[in-house]
Chain A
Amino acid sequence: MIHTEQLKSGVSRLLLGFVLVTLGFAAGRRTAPPPSQGAAAVAVHEREAADKVIVYAAHMTFRCPECTRIEWLARELLEKEFGAEQAAGRLEFRTIDYMRDLAFARKYNVSSSTLVVVRLVGGEEREFQRLDEVWTKIRDREEYFDYVRGAIRQSLEGMGKERAR
Chain B
Amino acid sequence: MSWFTVVTALWFGILTSISPCPLATNIAAISFITRKIDKMSVVLLSGLLYAAGRAVAYLVLGAVIMAGLLASGEIALFLQRYLNQVLGPVLILVGMLLLGWIGSSASFTLVGAGVQTRASKGGMGWAALLGVLFALSFCPVSAGLFFGVLIPLSAANQSRVILPLVYGLGTAAPVVVFALLIAFASQQLGSAFNRLTQIERAVRLITGVLFVIAGIYYSLLYVYELPIKLW
Contacts and interface: CB of A to CB of B under 8 A. Distances in A.
A43 interface: no
B122 interface: no
Given A8-B101, A12-B102, A99-B80, A112 B221 contact: no
B223 A26 contact: yes
B81 to A, nearest CB: 7
A14 to B, nearest CB: 10
Of residues B19, B21, B71, B221, which shows the largest number of chain A Cβ atoms within 10 Å of its Cβ? Answer: B21
Given A112-B76, A132-B152, A135-B148, A62 B212 contact: no
A33 interface: no
Contacts of B73: 105-106, 108-111
Contact of A64 (B19, B76, B93, B149): B19
B81 A99 contact: yes
B148 A25 contact: no
Nearest to A62: B221
A19 B110 CA distance: 15
A155 interface: no
A111 B138 CA distance: 10
A132 B144 contact: yes
Contacts, number: 112
Interface in A28-82: 29-30, 59-67
User: B interface, how many residues as a size bin?
Assistant: 35 or more
Contact of B96 (A15, A62, A66): A15
Contact of B225 (A61, A66, A109): A61
A23 interface: yes
A110 B140 CA distance: 11
Of residues B80, B82, B93, which shows the largest number of chain A Cβ atoms within 10 Å of its Cβ? Answer: B80
A62 B225 contact: yes
Interface string A1-37: 0000000100110011011001101100110000000
Given A22-B88, A64-B21, A111 B219 contact: no
Interface residues of A, number: 38
A15 B212 contact: yes
Taking chain B's interface residues, is the majority helix, strand, or loop, or is none over half, making it mixed? helix
Interface string B12-30: 1000000111000000000
B32 interface: no
B58 interface: no
Given A12-B96, A12-B101, A135 B149 contact: yes
B231 A62 contact: no
B42 interface: no
Contact of A65 (B74, B77, B231): B231
Contacts of B20: 64-65
Given A12-B102, A133-B149, 8 more contacts: A11-B101, A30-B82, A62-B140, A108-B73, A109-B71, A109-B73, A112-B141, A135-B145
The 10 closest A-B pairs by CB, nearest first: A132-B148, A111-B76, A112-B143, A111-B147, A109-B73, A112-B144, A135-B144, A64-B21, A26-B85, A19-B89
Interface of B: 12, 19-21, 71-77, 80-82, 85-86, 88-89, 92-93, 96, 101-102, 138-141, 143-145, 147-149, 152, 212, 216, 219, 221-225, 227, 231
30 contacts: A12-B96, A12-B101, A12-B102, A15-B96, A15-B101, A16-B102, A19-B92, A19-B93, A22-B224, A26-B86, A30-B82, A64-B21, A64-B141, A65-B20, A65-B231, A66-B140, A67-B140, A99-B80, A99-B81, A105-B77, A111-B148, A112-B143, A112-B144, A112-B147, A113-B140, A114-B144, A132-B149, A134-B144, A135-B144, A135-B149
